[in-house]
Structure formats: C-alpha cells, structure tokens
Amino acid sequence: MAMTGDPCDCDVLVVGGGNAALCAAIAARRAGAAVLLLEAAPKALRGGNARHSRNMRVMHDAPTPWVRGRYPADDYLADLRRVAGDTDHAVARLFVDASADIVDWLAGNGVRFQSCADEVLPYSRKTAFFLGGGKALVNALYATAERLGVAIRYDSDVRALHLRDGPPAVTVGEPGVTVRARALVVASGGFQADAGWLRREWGEAADRFSIRGTPHATGVPLKALLAEGAEPVGAADRCHMVAVDGRAPRVDGGIVTRLDGIAHGIVVDRDGRRFADEGAVVGPSRYTAWGEMVARCPGAVAFSVFDAAIKTRFRPSIFPAIRADGIGELAAALGISPPALEATVAGFNAAITGGGGTAGGDPPKTRLAEPILVPPFGAYPVRAGVTSTCLGVRVDGRARVLRRDGTALDGVHAAGVVMAPNILGCGYLAGSAMTVGAVFGRIAGREAAAYALR
C-alpha cells in the first residue's frame, strides 16, 4: 500500500474480521477491488462472534444436500415478522431471497457444510450447519481471502472513522495510523463488549452480564457512524441474551456455558423467590427465554434449583453443581436467606398436582413440575449471556448506510450485526445473524467495489 500520489491506500477497506467482513472482503476482491481488511483481534482469536456460530438459516424451495425439506420465502418472512415486528419489508424480502444461494456462494469460497444426511445432526429444514462450526468457517474464509489477495491486518482495532472530507478513512491502533480508501465496509458487530456503554443502557446489572462472543465488539465504528448522521435502527437498550452459568467467562464463553436444565427444576432470584413459569418454554428457545428475564432480576442473577432425581434429566452444566444435603444449606451456599428458599421449595412442592403442573403457586409452573425432595440438592447460578446488542444503522438493499433523510453516506456500507436490526429488529431467530452477515457482506463487498471502481 505505497502512497503513490494516490490519496487512497486501497479501493475497499473492510472494518471487522468476522463472517460479514470476510464475505465483504472476498466479494469486493472478486469484483476486482484492492481490499484491506482490519481485524481487531489477534490471529488466534480472529473471526468475531462467527467463531462461536453453528449454522445459518436459509430459504430454499426444495431439499438441498445441506438442508432438508423446504423453507419457502413466505415462511422465512413470517418467522422474521414474528420476532422482529415491524422492520423494512423491502430489505427483509431482498435478504430472504438472497439467502437462497448463500450456501453455494460460501461453499464456493471454501466453507464446508455438514451433509444433512449425517445422522448426528438434528432435523432442520431451516438451517444449514457448518462442518466443524463457525471457527472452521472463519478459517476457510480467511484462507480464501488470503489466496485471492485480500490484505489482512490483525490486532487492528479501529479508533475513529473520518467520513467528511474526501474518501472515507479510519484511524487504526495506538498510536493511530490513518488508512484511506475509496469505499468503506463497516462489519464490526455490536457494542456488547464496551462495558461502559452497556452500563449506560442497563445500569449496574450490565456488570453481571457475560459477553458470549468476542471482546473486540466495542461498537466504536457503530458509534462513529451514528455520530456522522446514520439513522439508528433497533434499540440501544436491547440485547440478544441467553441464560448462562453464572461462572461463565466474562467474554468468549460461546455456546457451552448455556444452561440446559432450567425447565426441569425451579428458578429463584437472590431473595429465594420464584419469578416465572419455568415450564412455559421447553423447546429450543428455552435458552433465550431466560436471558432477558435473568438480566432484569435483582442483581441480574438467579439460581436454577433441582434435586438428585431431577438432575439426571438434563445435560449438566460444564461447571459443577453447587450441592448440599438440605435446602437451607443449599441456600446458604448460594448466598440466599435459608428460610426464604425453604419456604419457596415447600410451597412449590405443596402446589404440585398430578398433571405435571402446579395448582396455584405464584407464579404457577405449567409443565414439568416435579417436587424437589431427593437430596443432595443442587443449583447453578444463572446470569444473562449477551450474544450481541440490537442497535444498528439503517441501510438500503445495496448495504449503503443511510441518513435519516434517506440519503446515503458516500461510499459507506455496512454488513452483519451492525445493520442486522434492519432485518431482525430487536428480535432473534436462530441462525439468521450468520445469514445477515453473509448476505449483506456479499452485497456490501460488491457495492463497495463498484463504488470504488466507478
């Protein structure tokens, strides 16, 4: 990137190093642009939240080697509307249509998918699974990007965007180096790893959150785009969350810290009181159902409590259960008032009817209600694990970042979680974030290349 009188260091500059960024870089490079990709993480931890992903949700009208059955566009749009509410219909429609060939496009760029005939996979007519998971996808896309000649810089966190005078530019690292490009793709994720920003939105509860993905999603480019007049979409005070073991790492815990057993026992807050129907959600969305509930508990912590009989019915946490021979001792070990937990358990046991639910009880448990009787008793501390925040910038169908008046920021494109609320609102649909990243990464890369080479 010698400065040969040309004010630009490259044609397309990609900020970010996850799935969306890689798709953008590859698409732009294939369109003939000179591309520079800036990944904030070191090489060993590259790939953003895609490192922790598993599958992607794709529309298809007939079975493919990777997805069973069919998942027509109308079904996909209906699922989106259910979780996202009122989003940009035109962009959502374009997204769903473009998802149809994204698996083939990724496969053509080295990503391997798991055959849906593989007996180990759960049945899915909606999602294609990455063979080896998201890090294998990330490895494959980096290898392809390198082979195509994309310049990749690790340990390169972007400190500032400069979008006013001339072509877009970014300042990287400390001390700052400014890189100028003809076109920019921002694919840097949400801001969940900025503890200060999260605390401003959630109060002190945010300090108890576990960040399930990359520690580099600090939202600096997102904040800069908003400051430059990009229209916000989604909401700053909403996150996609799941219930995780309270002993999960502060960052990067990924999928394995999710707690499975919640529906089988009872869940109490730090005062020893039940606060929700544990049997309400038992399907795959049981993880997300509890994320926000626990986030809004006093102290943003809760406890999943079970007995020796119940604990055999779910996958144990990767962390050992906290055990005691009596409910009072268990409460003491958890830092809960023993009489409060004893009263809760006694009341719950007494309310159980023969039909697997409770009669009365506050709140009732409508399914899987079993008495907590057989020592030793066990518990897991539960906290909210944040996948990503739900604040983004408005884009059009060409992934151009838009101002409130509908005009585009010159040469600035966005892909992935930084624009996902255009499609997902503040909701979440399993496997869809990876599709947003790949679909809009590809669009953003092509559009940025076209803009740069115009």
Partner 1 sequence: MPCADDQERIAADARRVLEICNACQFCDGYCAVFAALKSRRLVSAADLTFLSNLCHNCRSCYHACQYAPPHEFDLNLPKSLSLVRQQTYRDHVWPPAARGRLPGAGWSFVAAVTLAAMALVALPAVLSLPAELLFGRHDGPGAFYRLVPWGAIAGVAGAVMLWSLLAIGFSVASFWRGMGPAPAGAALWPALCVAFRDAATLRNLGGGGAGCNDRDERFSQARRRFHHALFYGVALCFAATGVATVYDHGLGWQAPYPLLSLPVLLGGLGGVGMVVGTTGLALLKRRADPGPVARSLSGADGALLGLLFLVAASGLGLLALRGTAAMGAMLLVHLGLVLGWFATLPYSKFLHAPFRFAALLRAAMERQGRGVTRLPPAPVPSRRPVSRPAPGSGSG
| Binding region for partner 1 (CB under 8 A) | 44-45, 51-55, 112, 114-115, 118-122, 127, 129-136, 139, 143, 242, 249, 252, 254-256, 258, 260, 264, 283-285, 287-288, 309, 312-316, 318, 356, 368, 370, 387, 428, 430-431, 433-434
* C-beta of 286 vs 394, nearer to partner 1: 286
Judge whether 129 and 55 are in contact, CB under 8 Å. yes
* C-beta of 235 vs 255, nearer to partner 1: 255
Task: Tell the smallest beta-carbon distance from residue 52 to partner 1 (Å).
Answer: 5
Report in angstroms the alpha-carbon separations of 27 from 14, 34, 210: 11, 11, 34
Q: How far apart are CA 210 and CA 409, in angstroms?
A: 34
Task: Tell the smallest beta-carbon distance from residue 218 to partner 1 (Å).
Answer: 19
* C-beta of 201 vs 260, nearer to partner 1: 260
* C-beta of 160 vs 282, nearer to partner 1: 282
* Sole residue written with tokens 């268990």: 330
User: DSSP class of residue 136?
Assistant: H
* C-beta of 65 vs 335, nearer to partner 1: 65
Judge whether 259 and 289 are in contact, CB under 8 Å. no
Task: Tell the smallest beta-carbon distance from residue 54 to partner 1 (Å).
Answer: 4
Task: Tell the smallest beta-carbon distance from residue 132 to partner 1 (Å).
Answer: 3
Report in angstroms the alpha-carbon separations of 305 from 18, 262, 384: 37, 8, 17
The alpha carbon of residue 88 and the mean position of all alpha carbons in its chain are separated, in whole angstroms, by 20
Task: Tell the smallest beta-carbon distance from residue 102 to partner 1 (Å).
Answer: 15
> Which residue in 328, 332, 320, 319 sits closest to 375, CA to CA?
328
Task: Tell the smallest beta-carbon distance from residue 280 to partner 1 (Å).
Answer: 15
**Most distant CA pair in the chain: distance in Å?**
81
* C-beta of 43 vs 200, nearer to partner 1: 43
Task: Tell the smallest beta-carbon distance from residue 57 to partner 1 (Å).
Answer: 9
- Quick one: tokens of 205? 């509860």
Report in angstroms the alpha-carbon separations of 398 from 109, 187, 450: 21, 14, 11
* C-beta of 221 vs 254, nearer to partner 1: 254
Q: b/e map of 187-200 (b: 16 or more CB within 10 Å)?
A: bbbbbbbbeebbee
* Sole residue written with tokens 């739900």: 390
* Sole residue written with tokens 């626990």: 294
